[in-house]
Amino acid sequence: MGRAANLRTCFLDYIRMKGDRLGTTLSQRRDRIREMAKLLNLRGGVTLLDCLGTAELVSILDEELTRDDST
C-alpha cells in the first residue's frame, strides 16, 4: 500500500476526513484504521488497487466503515 501513491494519499485523506467516526479513544481509532488497512490489503489480492480512482477507493473504505458501525 505504501508504494501506491494514489492509494496511500486517498487512505490518509479518508482517515483525516472521517476521523470522528473512527472512535473516541486512541486504541479504538488505531484498531479501526488497522481493520481498514487489512481490508484494503485483502481487496488488493483480487483487485489492482493502483488502477482504482479516488471515488472507488473511498467507496471501498466507506463500505468497511459502515460495516464496522453496524456490528
pTM for the model stands at: 0.82
| CA dist list (Å): 69 to 11, 29, 31, 45 | 18, 13, 13, 25
What the block records as the C-alpha cell of 52 is 482504482
Average pLDDT of each block of 10 consecutive residues along the chain (71 residues)? 85 92 91 91 89 91 80 56
pLDDT at 70: 60
| CA dist list (Å): 54 to 20, 31, 61, 71 | 20, 23, 11, 26
Q: What is the DSSP letter of 52?
A: S
Q: What is the DSSP letter of 46?
A: T
Number of compact structural domains in the chain: 1
> Which residues form the domain of 52?
5-70
Distance CA 5, CA 13 (A): 12
